[in-house]
Amino acid sequence: FQQRMVTARYWLNPKGPYKTEGEFWDEEPGAETSSANEVGMGYADASEVPTATLNNGRKIPLIGLGTWKSKPGEIKQATLHALRAGYRHVDCAEYYNNEHEIGEALQTVFSEGVVKREDVFLTSKLWNNHHSKESVRPAVEKILKNLRVSHLDLLLIHWPYTGNVGPTVQPTIRETWQAMEALVSEGLVHSIGVSNFSTKKVADIISYAQVPPSVVQVEIHPYWRQDDLLSFCGERNIHVTAFSPLGSPDSSAMFQRKGPKLMDDPTLVSIASSLNKSPAQCLIRWGLQHGTSILPKSVNEGRIRSNLDVTSWELPRADYEALCSLNFQQRMVTARYWLNPKGPYKTEGEFWDEEPGAETSSANEVGMGYADASEVPTA
């Protein structure tokens, strides 16, 4: 073991004269020891985080910090930890009500001079009450003000739902999409996409879009693989981002969910043990090998760093395929709060555009908190 204990970290700057430990100590490329794991002002090197190229040529880092359900006062420090640990992708949303804290963290980081605005991929999402063409731009302007930036790298429609009651969604998704396209033209947003949309709903957008969706963000993990949607998007050069990659263990009460927990799955636990990795790391690595970008959420500095430590190794093929073959399938984040007997969505099946009989255990509870009675036997 060889490691320099007294490093040059405080004298490094991306503008020079010394950009890396190797340059400072005149070491040949590749000869740096573990003293060079962090560059300048305590920041880890982010060069090993893989990226994907979107259909508009822009790049998205494949591991991002999820910020949903973070308690007030926690996410600023978590964002600081993440950016200093090497994250360059932060997933935000208007509804999370914490973008002002993330903005404070971004301002701190940018002022330190190591990470610049163009280095960080920022996503946010339009909430359900801001779908009208008159509402989209003001909502985005508020998001930008809270984040303290001049543009978003990605803007998503958070849900295909507006709160109206009736046979169809109003304002229409088309109206919302066209308002988002205008923001791309203005430069306020670089890329646009959707979250929690079915394959059918994405296809509808593609049929009229002048700016095609760059990203579809949906729940994906070994207990909810979404292979059909992944194939659909892959064939159309639409990138897929996986939220709740650890199975959303902290949302079971919110969705009154029962059933096994992904993080406790015996196959996963066995694989993690054999590889000397955590179950979370194995799930994040599975997502990368499954072809998606990943949004693990944590406010704990150690877990934030651990969740990023997945780029230098792979799941062996047999382990990856074992996680791809788990029989239990359940959507953890359901549409239960958006269902209404008067429409536009009366059932989970209607919301997700699933064929009758195709619903999985994600639909064990349907509509206004009522359990599915289909399993009660009859004579």
pLDDT tier for residue 298 given thresholds of 50, 70 and 90:
very high
SS3 string, 6-49, reads CCCHHHCCCCCCCCCHHHHCCCCCCCCCHHHHEECCCEECCCCC
DSSP class of residue 336 equals: G
Q: What is the chain's mean pLDDT, rounded? A: 88
Question: Is the pLDDT reported for residue 58 higher than 80?
Answer: yes
Kindly indicate the confidence band of residue 359, based on its pLDDT and cuts at 50, 70 and 90: very low
* 251: confidence class by pLDDT, cuts 50, 70, 90: low
Query: For residue 11, what are the CA distances in angstroms to 7, 114, 238?
Result: 9, 12, 42
Does the pLDDT of residue 366 top 50, yes or no?
A: no
- Pull the structure tokens for residue 365: 């509870």
Paired tokens of 38:
């962090």
- pLDDT exceeds 90 at position 35: no
Residue 40 banded pLDDT, cuts 50, 70, 90? low
End-to-end CA separation in angstroms for the chain: 72
Catalytic status, residue 96: yes
> How big is the chain, counted in residues?
379
371: confidence class by pLDDT, cuts 50, 70, 90: very low
- As to burial, measured by CB atoms within 10 angstroms (0-12 exposed, 13-18 middle, 19+ buried), residue 363 is buried
Q: Which residue has the tokens 């693990």?
A: 296
pLDDT tens digits along 269-291 = 999 999 999 999 999 999 999 99
- Comparing 122-131, 186-195, 332-341, 359-368, which segment has the lowest mean pLDDT? 359-368
At 302-319, the pLDDT tens digits run 999 999 999 999 999 999
Burial degree of 61 (CB within 10 A; 0-12, 13-18, 19+): buried
Picking from 2-16, 24-38, 104-118, 157-171, which range would have the lowest pLDDT averaged per residue?
24-38
| Statement: residue 36 has pLDDT above 80 | no
Strands 189-195 and 215-219, sheet pairing: parallel
Q: Return the H-helix or E-strand segment holding 234.
A: helix 227-235
pLDDT, residue 11, reads 79
| Angle at which helices 99-112 and 75-85 cross, to 10° | 40
Q: Phi and psi (nearest 5°) for 53?
A: -95, 125
Sole residue written with tokens 């088309």: 174
Average pLDDT for 187-209: 98
For residue 103, the one-letter residue type is G
Taking every pair of Cα atoms in the chain, the longest distance, rounded to a whole number of angstroms, is 82
The Cα-based distances of 189 to 85, 185, 209, 272, 314 in angstroms read: 26, 8, 16, 39, 34
Q: How far apart are CA 152 and CA 121, in angstroms?
A: 8
Query: Using CA atoms, how far apart are residues 62 and 233, in angstroms rounded to an integer?
Result: 16
Residue 373 pLDDT more than 60?
A: no
Q: Which residues share a beta bridge with 297?
A: 66
The predicted pLDDT at position 64 comes to: 98
| Marked catalytic residue, from 87, 96, 223, 320 | 96
Q: Which helix (H) or strand (E) holds 351?
A: helix 348-351
Q: Are 195 and 180 in contact (CB under 8 A)?
A: no
Which comes out higher in pLDDT, residue 160 or 363?
160
| pLDDT value for 182 | 98
Percent of the chain scored above 90 by pLDDT? 75
pLDDT value for 29: 54
- The tens digit of pLDDT for each residue in 218-238 reads 999 999 999 999 999 999 999
pLDDT reported for residue 38: 41
Cβ contacts of residue 360 below 8 Å, gap of 6+?
329, 330, 331
Distance, CA of 317 to CA of 231 (rounded, Å): 20
